[in-house]
Amino acid sequence: MGYLNFVLHAHLPYVRHPEHARFLEEDWFFEAITETYIPLLQEFEALAKDHLPFKITMSLTPPLCEMLADELLQTRYINHINRLRELAEKECTRTKNDPAFCYLAAMYRNLFEKCHKVFNGYDRNLLNGFRKFQKMGNLEIITCGATHGFLPNLRNSPRSVEAQLEVAVGNYWKHFGQEPWGIWLGECGYYRGLDKQIKAAGLKYFFVDTHGILQGEPPSPKGNYAPIETPHGAFAFARDQESSKAVWSAEEGYPGDFRYREFYRDVGFDLDMKYIGPYIHPMGLRINTGIKYYRITGKGNYKEPYVEAEAKQATQEHAENFIFNRDKQDEWLSTRLDTPACIVCPYDAELFGHWWYEGPMFLGKVMRKVLTEKDHRVHLSTPRDYLLSHRDVPHSDPAFSSWGAGGYADVWLNGSNDWIYPHLHKIGNLMQEVANLPAGNEQDRRARNQMARELLLAQSSDWAFIMKTGTMVDYAVKRTKVHVHNCLELHRQIRTGSIYEPFLQNLESTDNIFPEIDYKVYAS
């Protein structure tokens, strides 16, 4: 029996702007709640209702946890979903004479109503939902670097890597009341020797991309179908390329099926400005609302209305295909491995639901099939379960790798974003310098803690990523510069003993991630 490990990496950068009544980039978070997190929780609820003991692993990154638990963002999400409920209601009226579109408008109305109900049902904090399934033993929640830093590019700054890990573990404890077993390294970024810090942070396992294991020294004889134990005693699991490709691939991936919903047709862009104006950005900028009436249909502009029943049928077929191939994969591997194959299928959580609207349904069907059809070779598992059963694994030293384009650091180190590293490394050095100073008064302590927050926020890999992809670059550049600038200013104020209270208070209220942080994590 092979182990089938679904790993969903749920992450968003910390975007919270109380100084503005509405802030466009906060919509990333609201969209993810509506389209990904709530649909996933709904699938979990459905499986649990049928007493199906599903198993899945999710990395809920510290910034995401902090945002999910933030009262301001919770309130703003309610406002957001209320706007969508109102829009969907109007759409039902507007489309009443066209059965195909009217059906879809009603579908969205029901979806938004459900989101509103589910969100309130978890007391506006979806962490309550994830915690529920964690306690039930269905969901293995792991952590991630404190702000999703790409650790290979931070290692030149003392204590930055350790702090990313230690702050994350502390934050996990705050939200989940226990220590995490595993970590999803930001961008799956690993470099040789990082296992020492991972182990020191109390983490038992992590993930690398396939070539991290295959280029390891020595290469594990079991390839990427069993974890390896690293020189410092941590365990590394590697991604299975074949199952990844089935979902990610542009040419062969399931989400490209023409019956699925078309992401790029949204009423936010399609409808008349006078009509849609109240539901897009107040400045008149057209944005995705989440109401999308078309299916992919084919390559090109021609689009046909979405047919929900056909899309559901597609998820059924793809779920069957996915399981069929995993069974065959396990069958082949079982004759060549002396231990059960450990197939690791990691995906960005936001792929499911946001990009691939039907993704959560697909996932639910896969898990349901594995659990209800007894003839399958693979069974659902988590890395923790695997390690509890199989501690005798090959020893190897994984190699520098990431799951980004090209497999290494290219995405986060190129002509579009390399300018950030002299600054990131500098403020990392300054942070250590400040952390090693003799303790000061309470205000000084707060300033040092805030400096640590600003440093961590600047280190988020999202900014370099956005600079590379070329979308919303201004925001990413500004976020990087603002946090670096704040760090430098706080450092100056701390060193000169001239901490300006309003400045500090303002930063504490806006960049309020990790209220529990202790700057001493940077002390050498």
Residues 34-93 that bind other proteins (CB under 8 A): none
Three-class DSSP category at 24? coil
CA 456/CA 291 separation, integer angstroms: 35
For other proteins, the closer CB: 50 or 217: 217
Helix (H, G, I), strand (E, B) or coil at 478: helix
Rounded Cα distance between 158 and 161, Å, is 8
> How many whole angstroms from its chain centre is CA 121?
23
Kindly indicate which of the ranges 40-48, 198-206, 251-259, 438-446 contains the residues binding other proteins, using the contact rule CB under 8 A: 251-259
CB atoms within 10 A of CB 324: 12
- C-alpha–C-alpha distance, residues 148 and 9, integer Å: 11
Q: Closest CB to other proteins among 48 and 287?
A: 287
CB 414 within 8 A of CB 420: no
Binding flags for other proteins, 274-293, as an x/- string (CB under 8 A):
-x-----xxxxxxxx----x
State which of residues 298, 372, 515, 523 lies at the interface with other proteins (CB under 8 A).
298
Closest of 120, 172, 113, 122 to residue 144, by C-alpha:
172
Cβ atoms of 182 and 9 closer than 8 Å: no
Q: Which is nearer to other proteins, 448 or 468 (CB)?
A: 468
DSSP annotation of 398 reads: P
* Distance between CA atoms of residues 404 and 9, nearest Å: 14
Work out how close the CB of 310 gets to other proteins at its nearest, in angstroms, rounded to a whole number: 8
202 versus 256: smaller Cβ distance to other proteins = 256
Binding residues for other proteins restricted to 179-238, rule: CB under 8 A:
191-192, 209-211, 213-215, 219, 221-225
**φ, ψ dihedrals at 267, nearest 5°:** -65, -20
184's tokens: 């999803």
Q: Which of residues 139-168 bind other proteins (CB under 8 A)?
A: 152-153, 156
Is position 170 an interface residue for other proteins (rule: CB under 8 A)?
A: no
Contact between 123 and other proteins by CB under 8 A: the answer reads: no
In this structure, are strands 228-229 and 235-238 parallel, antiparallel, or unpaired?
antiparallel
Count of residues that interact with other proteins, criterion CB under 8 A: 152
Report yes or no: 114 and 371 within 8 Å, Cβ to Cβ: no
Query: Which residue has tokens 């040419």?
Result: 251
Between 202 and 422, name the residue whose CB sits nearer to other proteins.
Answer: 422
Among positions 491-510, residues that touch other proteins (CB under 8 A) are 498, 500, 502-503, 506, 510
- The window from 126-134, 198-206, 351-359, 443-451 that contacts other proteins (CB under 8 A) reads 351-359
Rounded Cα–Cα distance for residues 224 and 340 (Å) = 12
Q: Which of 83, 196, 303, 379 is the binder for other proteins (CB under 8 A)?
A: 303
User: Out of 3, 6, 13, 182, which residue is the one contacting other proteins (CB under 8 A)?
Assistant: 13
Q: Which listed residue (24, 72, 78, 107) binds other proteins by CB under 8 A?
A: 24
Residues 378-437 that bind other proteins (CB under 8 A): 399-411, 413-416, 418-419, 421-423, 425-426
Comparing CB distances to other proteins, the nearer of 292 and 448 is: 292
Contact with other proteins (CB under 8 A): which of 254, 306, 386, 514? 254
Q: Cβ distance 225 to 241 under 8 Å?
A: no
